[in-house]
Chain A
Amino acid sequence: MIELDHITKRYDGRAVVDDLSLSVAEGEFCILLGPSGCGKSTMLRIINRLVVADAGTVRIAGEETTALRPEILRRRIGYAIQSTGLFPHWTVADNVATVPRLLKWPPKRVAARVDELLELLRLEPRLYRNKYQHQLSGGEKQRVGVARALAADPELLLMDEPFGAVDPVTRDALQAELLRIHRATRKTIIFVTHDVDEALRLASSIAIMDKGRVVQHAAPLELLQRPATGFVADFVGRQGLGLKLLAVRRVAERARDDETAPGQPVPLEASLRDALSAMTERGTDRLPVADAAGRRVGVIALADLVR
Chain B
Amino acid sequence: MTAFLTGAPGVLRGHPRSGVREPVLFTLLLTALTATVFLGFVSVAPNRLLSGRPVPLWVAAGTGYCGALAAIVGPLVPLCFAPPRQRWAVLTVGLAASWLVATLAALGAAAQALAAGAGPAARVSAGAAFWIMAGCSAFALADGLRRLRAGPVAAAAVALVLGGAIGALAARGTFATLSVVQEYSSRQALFAAALTRHIALVAGAVGLGLVIGLPLGLGASRRPRLQGPLFALLNLLQTVPSIALFGLLIWPLAALARAAPRLAAWGIGGIGPAPAVIALVLYALLPIVRNTVAGLSGVDPAVVDAARGVGLTRAQIFRRVELPLSLPILIAGLRIVIVQTIGLAVVAALIGAGGLGTFVFEGLGQDALDLVLLGALPAIALALAADLGLRAMAALLPQRADR
Contact = CB atoms under 8 A, between A and B. Distances in A.
Contacts of A158: 309
Contact of A88 (B310, B311, B320, B400): B400
B313 interface: yes
Contacts of A88: 300, 303, 325, 400-403
Given A89-B324, A134-B400, A84 B311 contact: no
B403 A79 contact: no
Contact of B310 (A79, A132, A133): A79
Interface string B290-308: 0000000000101111111
Interface stretch (A55-63, A68-76, A219-227, A266-274): A68-76
Nearest to A158: B309
B321 interface: yes
Interface residues of B, number: 23
B312 A79 contact: no
Contacts of B313: 71
Contact of B309 (A50, A72, A134): A50
B117 interface: no
A48 interface: yes
A87 interface: yes
A194 interface: no
Contact of A85 (B306, B398, B403): B306
Contacts of A99: 310-311
Interface in A105-144: 132-134
Given A83-B302, A132-B400, A72 B311 contact: yes
B311 A102 contact: yes
B310 A81 contact: no
Nearest to B302: A83
A71 B317 CA distance: 11
Contacts of A133: 403
Interface in B122-162: none
B311 A75 contact: yes
A72 B400 CA distance: 30
Contacts of B310: 74-75, 79, 98-99, 102, 148-149
B107 to A, nearest CB: 48
Nearest to B324: A89
Contacts of B320: 87
A200 B290 CA distance: 49
A140 B400 CA distance: 18
B301 to A, nearest CB: 9
A86 interface: yes
Interface in B44-95: none
Given A50-B309, A148-B310, A81 B400 contact: no
A136 to B, nearest CB: 10
B403 A87 contact: no
10 contacts: A50-B305, A50-B309, A75-B311, A81-B302, A81-B306, A83-B300, A87-B306, A87-B307, A99-B311, A148-B310
The 7 closest A-B pairs by CB, nearest first: A85-B306, A74-B311, A75-B311, A79-B309, A83-B302, A85-B302, A134-B401
Given A81-B302, A85-B300, A89-B324, 4 more contacts: A79-B306, A88-B325, A88-B401, A89-B400
